[in-house]
Amino acid sequence: MQDVTSKVLHEKTGRMLDLVKQGERIRVFRDGKPDAMLVPIDDHVDPSWDEIMKEVRAMQKEDGPQLENPVLAERKRRDYAAHLR
């Protein structure tokens, strides 16, 4: 991993992007603190769907009152209202 300042990134953007394209990861510092990271497009930066849903699935398994899905409730309300017209 290579560290650069935001000024260097500004001055040498093309060169930094070439390095990233070659697989290099670049950490950008601003005011002495890490501010951003440039990574190759094929790096998996985003969490997987299982990781995103882990907390939701854990809550679904818990006992207790189940809350109605507000989106489905609104759809039911609109469908009912459409039949009244």
User: In 3-state terms, what secondary structure has residue 43?
Assistant: coil
pLDDT tens sequence across 5-40: 999 999 999 999 999 999 999 999 999 999 999 999
The predicted pLDDT at position 84 comes to 66
| Cβ proximity of 29 and 54 under 8 Å | no
Tokens encoding 12: 């040498």
Q: Flag whether pLDDT at 48 surpasses 70.
A: yes
Amino acid at site 70 = P
Q: Flag whether pLDDT at 67 surpasses 80.
A: no
pLDDT-derived band at 59, boundaries 50, 70, 90: confident
- Residue 76 belongs to some domain of the structure: no
| Cβ proximity of 24 and 2 under 8 Å | yes
The residue range of the domain holding 10 is 2-38
CATH of the domain at 33: 3.40.1620
| Cβ proximity of 29 and 35 under 8 Å | yes
The pTM of this model reads 0.51
Considering its fold, how many domains does the chain have in total? 1
